Amino acid sequence: MTHKVIKSAFKPVLLFVALFAFAVAAYSAATSASADSSDPAYSKVYNEAKKHLGSRYVYGAVGPTNFDCSGFTKYVYKKSIQKSIPRTAQAQYNGTKKVSKSNVQKGDLVYFGGSKHSISHVGMYIGNGRMIDSQNRGVITENVYSPWWHVVGFSRPTTLSYDD
């Protein structure tokens, strides 16, 4: 009998916790969506990157129809906001302002490889643990934290705001 009383007493608590978690998730999604609409520079970069989804990966290619990873990020920044960044993934990492994982923002670059001195891939962070990148399957949107990627750092090529 006591077990049933305890079990039924927890139902309202569990319901409250579930509703609270749902409310927090909804609020987080709403504030993240509103950040896109209030940030015209990020919107330009993101919209340019999205135009190329499905483009073929070709080693050494810098666009506008075929890309390698760093050719893609270089092309997107130059075409969308006239920001010139270095050509290779390692040079992009070396030549841009580093940011921590906890401070990464949409439009920042995310780097992969063996270490910060051995970078082999770059993608553009688009929020919610996702990126747009050019890799062997072409230009796609995918998870940053996938088993086949080893994140070694993040950088901010430019501040994407009204102040640019």
pTM, two decimals, is 0.75
The Cα–Cα gap between 95 and 61 comes to: 20
17 and 56 in a common domain: no
Residue 48 included in any domain: yes
CATH of the domain at 111: 3.90.1720.10
Please state the φ and ψ torsions of residue 96, each to the nearest 5 degrees: -130, 160
- Domains contained in the chain, number: 2
Tokens 């409310």, residue? 23
131 shares a domain with 72: yes
**pLDDT the model gives residue 4:** 59
Do 27 and 15 have their domain in common?
yes
Q: How many CB atoms lie within 10 A of CB 71?
A: 22
Phi-psi region of 156 (alpha: psi -120 to 50; beta: other; left: phi over 0): beta
80 and 95 assigned to the same domain: yes
One domain for residues 59 and 120? yes
106 and 129 assigned to the same domain: yes
Q: In terms of residue numbers, what domain contains 80? A: 39-156
Domain assignment of residue 70, yes or no? yes
Catalytic residue list:
69, 121, 133
Q: What pLDDT, in 10s, does the model give residues 111-129?
A: 999 999 999 999 999 999 9
Give residue 5's pLDDT.
52
Based on the fold, state whether residues 13 and 84 are members of the same structural domain: no
Domain assignment present for 93: yes
Q: What does each C-alpha distance from 159 to 8, 25, 75, 120 come to in angstroms?
A: 52, 27, 17, 24
What are 85-103's pLDDT values in tens digits?
A: 999 999 999 999 999 999 9
Task: Examine the domain organization and report whether 3 and 22 are in the same domain.
Answer: yes
Residues 70 and 88 in one domain: yes
